[in-house]
Structure 1
């Protein structure tokens, strides 16, 4: 593989000039710049990113921590992050924790500040103490999709009002005339989906609707399937299911089909997020969409600001902890919800 020095000799310039051209820095004349670019093409030179990181003390990459790459939401979010990062000249390293805090800690210790100069964190089951340590070592951290805008996490974040998303889902079912509604929460009672369920309960309470039945389940299609069967076994007269995420909602529709129920004639189903599968399911899933692409852009932009600033260098000092708030979630009505009929 050709070296930067070989490119410099081929172009008749110094290695520093080649470096400036490749990084688009400094003042380099038009003809000199073109000679360097021609030499790069002729020799097939490619920068060695690891060597550059060691030499400059920073890497042109960002790390994105996700809890499970098997969850369809995360590839969609990663794609949006990758597009935003590339627009700013960065690459993205995807770090899949498999919902294991120890795996997440290993990524933070081995990648943050070496292979990546900043870390984006989704719901990856990471210990906040580990994130604060990463930040204290001088590597900025940004939480993506923080679910409680009114409760700052103490780390830079992009927040989405998921409580409002749950409220919109509940209000939609109520407006259709549903009163016997089951809920599937894709986390523990105090877990990351708690705010979504709280918003749903707010909507029911405001309408004077009866208390709902609820099941906490794995945030998967299979988890939603099992929870729906349990809910309908406990109350066969349920006319609607609210799920705190789209995957359990899709599982609810699968369960309905296996039980001989038609969606939405016998059972309406609504989720939250609006992943691609929600649009492609049959019937198409009614859901509350969150601004995934916008959040990705805000997160990358905030992380870049922190990287370029002194934030996180040897501690924050008196710097305030920044938060960006996305656009509000929006109800997307499709074919999986309708008016109830008695069973």
Structure 2
């Protein structure tokens, strides 16, 4: 097995320099980094991660806890998070909990503070006090994309303004002349996405729409859930000309329901979602949505976790990234003339 000392001799540097290149390449001159990496490739060196963890007193692995890898948002998030972790010299362990609190607890018991120096926890059914206990065992715990976050939480959280996202959707539909709205409210492991709906309601009220202009249905946070809820609302409320879904998957399901009911999108019915997953612009008609800065959220979460591991991040703080952004595509248009007013 090739040793670190052999790499150092081949690159004509010290062993400490090789270690720095592997752990903190930004602190080493670029030409030295290239020389060391060339030696590593030539010799086929593979670092002994166990030995490194023992020497440093911590592992070079971070864990990302997510609720459902089948949701396209999460693979997109993982790609951005893994890229940032790798850039910082860390490995990312992805843990899919399948919306099961028992699986979440089992992962946390096994990896927090041992296999992983830090844990990024996305939507979960666990109470925050359980995660505080995990942090008490020596792991850096960062919450990410928790919708019902408060600035006084005991653990730091990287989040986005969910209410503002709903308000943007409301403003867009109102400006298009819509007056009868339906809302599809998703519910997953993080609970119902009610903050987005509250923002949508506030956005409508700010533009003079009465509360009775909006009807809502709760459903599963999925394409199938959106389809079923949209079928229910559209059959029961024939005057609806616009549907707001609290995420893109449900919005896509709503467009499928509209097609099955003989409604044209956007001529008869406008549909808008939230998130801007890749599928939203690949679907036809392409989905109008409110974009979350997914890559920025992922990178900030990784950075915060590593700052906590290294003891440089303040505790008990909420970290908000830049605001959501309206992305207008083909699924929204002016309200049908006969239904204006």
TM-score using structure 2 length? 0.87
SS at match of 1:213: strand
1:112–1:119 contact (8 Å) kept in structure 2 = yes
Q: Deviations over 1:145-188 (max 9, x none)?
A: 23356544321111211001011111111111111111100017
User: Whole-Å Cα distance in 2 between the matches of residues 33 and 277 of structure 1?
Assistant: 39
- The 2-side partners of 1:175 and 1:239 are apart by 13
Task: Report the alpha carbon displacement of residue 12 of structure 1 after superposing the two structures with TM.
Answer: 10
Cα distance in 2 between the residues matched to 1:21 and 1:241: 52
- C-alpha separation between the residues in 2 aligned to 1:330 and 1:83? 23
Shift in CA distance, 52/213, structure 1 to aligned 2, threshold 3 Å: same
- Cross-structure match for 1:184: 184
Alpha-carbon RMSD: 3.1
Distance 1:18 1:175 in 2: 59
Alpha-carbon spacing, 1:107–1:327, altered in 2? closer, same or farther (3 Å)? same
How far the C-alpha of 1:208 sits from its partner, in A, is 2.7
- The corresponding residue for 2:273 is 271
- Are 2:159 and 1:159 aligned? yes
Is the CA contact (8 Å cut-off) linking 1:155 and 1:322 kept in structure 2?
A: yes
1:302 equivalenced with 2:297 (yes/no)? no
The 2-side partners of 1:13 and 1:151 are apart by: 47
1:175 corresponds in structure 2 to: 175
In structure 2, the CA distance between the partners of 1:137 and 1:180, relative to structure 1 (3 Å rule), is: same
> Deviation of residue 298 (structure 1)?
1.4
Q: Distance in 2 between matches of 1:275 and 1:10?
A: 46
Give the Cα–Cα distance (whole angstroms) in 2 for the partners of residues 174 and 35 of structure 1: 60
Structure 2: runs of 5+ lacking an equivalent: none
CA contact (8 A) 2:155 2:315 kept: no
1:329 alignment counterpart: 324
SS at match of 2:296: helix
Tell me the CA shift for residue 124 of structure 1. 3.1
Determine whether 1:224 maps to 2:226: yes
Distance change >3 Å, CA 85–CA 8, structure 1 → 2: closer
Between the aligned partners of 2:127 and 2:329, the Cα distance in structure 1 is 38
Question: Per-residue deviation at 1:135?
Answer: 0.8
Evaluate the alpha carbon distance shift between residue 305 and residue 17 of structure 1 in structure 2; reply closer, same or farther with a 3 A threshold. Answer: closer
Q: Secondary structure at the match of 1:217?
A: strand
Are residues 1:255 and 2:263 paired?
A: no
Measure, in 2, the Cα distance between the counterparts of 1:37 and 1:87.
14
> Residues 151 and 197 (structure 1 numbering): CA distance in 2 closer, same or farther, change over 3 Å?
farther
Q: 1:89 to 1:17 in 2, by over 3 A?
A: closer
1:102 partnered with 2:105: no
Give CA deviations for 1:218-263 in whole Å, capped at 9, x if unaligned.
Answer: 0100000000000011112211110000000000000111111100
Q: Secondary structure at the match of 2:267?
A: coil
CA deviation vs aligned residue, 1:283-330 (integer Å, no higher than 9, x gap): 11011111111111211121111111177xxxxxxx641221111111
**Contact in 1 for aligned 2:168/2:200 (Cα 8 Å):** yes
For these two proteins, the number of residue pairs brought into alignment is: 334
- What is the CA-CA distance between 1:22 and the residue it aligns to? 4.7
Q: What do the CA deviations read for 1:173-210 (whole angstroms, capped 9, x no partner)?
A: 1111111111100017x934110011111122222334
Going from structure 1 to structure 2, the CA distance change for 1:22 and 1:257 (only over 3 Å counts) comes to closer
Alignment partners' CA distance in 2, 1:340 and 1:21: 59
Give, in whole Å, the separation in 2 of the partners of 1:172 and 1:223: 24
Asked whether the equivalents of residues 159 and 324 of structure 1 are also in contact (C-alpha less than 8 Å), the reply is yes
1:339 counterpart = 2:340: no
User: Which of 248, 260, 270 is the matching residue for 1:246?
Assistant: 248
Q: Structure 1 stretches of 5 or more lacking a match?
A: 312-318
